[in-house]
Amino acid sequence: MMWSSTTKFTPINVILQGYKSQVKTELKTMLNINTIDWGDQSAFLQRTAEYKHVLNNMTLQECAQVNATIVKRQLERESAGYTVHVAS
């Protein structure tokens, strides 16, 4: 994967990568559909809300793991010479 010279990490970025199947399942239920077309405006608009829903329903241990992943990625990118911004 190519990284820009400035990289921003948020909990939603980590959820996107680590919990995508859970988000897809919940979106299918929410939108009452069988498949998700990410180009569809309604799926796109609901996606961020669903990521936040997943984040808000995580256990403390899961939240700690998300935060640890953010720190790990930040350190990896910084050691590679990239400028990294971590958002909460």
pTM greater than 0.75: no
Residue 78: per-residue pLDDT: 81
Q: For 42-74, how does the pLDDT look when each residue is reduced to its tens digit (9 = 90+)?
A: 777 787 788 888 888 889 999 999 899 988 988
Q: For 3-44, how does the pLDDT look when each residue is reduced to its tens digit (9 = 90+)?
A: 455 567 788 888 877 877 887 888 888 878 888 877 777 777
For residue 24, give every residue at least 6 positions away whose Cβ sits within 8 Å of its Cβ, in sequence order, or none. Answer: 36
Spans of all domains in the chain: 6-86
- Long-range contacts of 28-35, Cβ-Cβ distance < 8 Å, separation of 24 or more: none
Sorting pLDDT into bands at 50, 70 and 90, what band is 88? low
Are 85 and 10 in contact by the 8 Å Cβ rule? The answer is no
Residue 2: per-residue pLDDT: 47
